[in-house]
Amino acid sequence: MSGLTAPKGTFDTLPPDSARFLAVRDTLTAPLRRAGYGYVETPVFEETAVFSRGVGESTDVVTKEMYTFDDRGGRSLTLRPELTAGLMRAFIEHRLYDAALPVKLWTVGSAFRYERPQAGRYRHFTQVDMEALGADDPALDAEVVALGVQGFRDLGLTDFELLLTSLGDATCRPQYRELLVAFLEKLDLDEDTRRRAEINPLRVLDDKRPEVQAQLDDAPLMVDHLSDSTRAHYDAVRQHLTDLGVHWTEAPRLVRGLDYYTKTTFEFVHRGLGAQSAIGGGGRYDGLSAALGGPDVSGIGYAVGVDRTLLAVAAEGLDVGASAGVQAFVVPLGAEAKRVAVRLVGQLRAAGIAADTVYGDRGLKGAMKAADRSGASHAVVVGERDLAAGVGQLKDLRTGEQSAVPLGELFDRVRATVGS
């Protein structure tokens, strides 16, 4: 096994950093649970068509970044590059649309994209994803956006920004598309970019190359060509966000990296992360269900990167998930004391107290070092002399104070002390 390492562009999350990972993940999902969203678990691989039809044939995700393979039955499968399309597949397959609408769902899990690894961008990453399906209501759009903002606020983040725009819908996108295509035809673009423009010209606006961006200063913007109905929808979303105390920055050039977005579109960025500043985003996707063979129902949602949010937490120096995992540490000296320790630790854990003990043959010095490393506030030391006297020594590791406690009272005393 020597020499084996994690694949390029991936990483292992290990203690103590894993405590911060879990804290970020759980904090981001807590607002969703409070808002009545139900948890969904979907496979990490799907039929390739779920993503090619759902994410969009013109996207870099589909054309360049998907991990696609044939299984032993000759079926084309793909590791999920994002979570929304698979969740929508489950929504359709299990006819969740037959229930009361909107159906509110959330999930969390790994996604995979083949791209050049760099700071803040990996080939394997974890996302929190949420979707509200079956209702085209500006108030629902505002709820979705506000829940994302609340997750960041609950982490203590302050240096993030909400970018917001509208990408229109079928009532105004065709006319805007004609304007944009006519504009792009006049530019000096390579053949690959022109082909992308033929499939979805909006994708060109998302091109990050300086030589392309330099030609787009005068490009027509979707937000300037909204129909009356989409304009009214966008105005209502912004009013609801104002009522919810959510601040945003208008971003008329915002184009998300997936083809299914319509109307309300948004992105969360953090000013402490440099060029790779996005930590999450989403929007409305009223045609996605129909594109995957389901009913023509609307939807809106977002995905937030747990790994990228961790970088934002670190950039602001926040002490998230750094609290000690153990409250009480039991140090046995001898075989008979080990039985006492195992029983006491089991009792404390059953009572909801985080407890641990030392394993292996260690002397008092090594065992107390283990107690200090555990982060516990108190230690219980039980040696041969203590057993003969029918007591255990309860020590406050913060002050050094120590007292003898009868063995029959140890559990109650420890629980009362560390639980207070």
Share of the chain above pLDDT 90, in %: 70
Taking CA 218 as the corner, what is the angle to CA 213 and CA 220, rounded to the nearest 5 degrees? 105
Residue 215 labelled as part of a binding site: no
Domains in the chain: ranges and CATH: 16-171+227-316 (3.30.930.10), 328-419 (3.40.50.800)
Give the model confidence (pLDDT) of 334-391 as tens digits.
999 999 999 999 999 999 999 999 998 788 898 899 999 888 999 999 999 999 999 9
Locate the DSSP E strands across 150-274.
160-166, 249-250, 262-270
CB atoms within 10 A of CB 10: 14
Give the burial class of 133: count Cβ atoms within 10 A of its Cβ; 0-12 exposed, 13-18 middle, 19 or more buried: buried
Residue 239 labelled as part of a binding site: no
Give the model confidence (pLDDT) of 96-130 as tens digits.
999 999 999 999 999 999 988 777 788 999 999 99
Residue 37 labelled as part of a binding site: no
Give the model confidence (pLDDT) of 134-150 as tens digits.
999 999 999 999 999 99
pLDDT > 80? residue 184:
yes
Residue 256 labelled as part of a binding site: yes
For residue 64, give the DSSP letter. Answer: I
Distances (CA, A) of 42 to 33, 107, 123, 275, 411: 18, 8, 19, 32, 43
C-alpha span between 320 and 409 (Å, rounded): 35
Q: Are 233 and 263 in contact, with CB atoms under 8 Å apart?
A: yes
C-alpha span between 67 and 56 (Å, rounded): 15
Residue 195 labelled as part of a binding site: no
C-alpha span between 117 and 34 (Å, rounded): 35
Distances (CA, A) of 251 to 121, 217, 265: 23, 14, 9
Residue 82 labelled as part of a binding site: yes
Residue 67 labelled as part of a binding site: no
Comparison of pLDDT for 311 and 258, the residue scoring more: 311
Q: What average pLDDT does range 264-285 have in this prediction?
A: 92
Q: What is the pLDDT of residue 213?
A: 87
Mapped onto helix, strand or coil, the DSSP state of residue 112 is strand
C-alpha span between 244 and 234 (Å, rounded): 15
Residue 131 labelled as part of a binding site: yes
Confidence of residue 173 (pLDDT cuts 50, 70, 90): confident
Q: What average pLDDT does range 34-42 have in this prediction?
A: 97
Confidence of residue 160 (pLDDT cuts 50, 70, 90): very high
CB atoms within 10 A of CB 54: 24
For residue 121, give the DSSP letter. Answer: B
Comparison of pLDDT for 208 and 342, the residue scoring more: 342
* DSSP conformation letters of 311-375: HHHHHTT---S-S-S-SEEEEE-SHHHHHHHHHHHHHHHHTT--EEE--SS--HHHHHHHHHHHT
C-alpha span between 230 and 232 (Å, rounded): 5
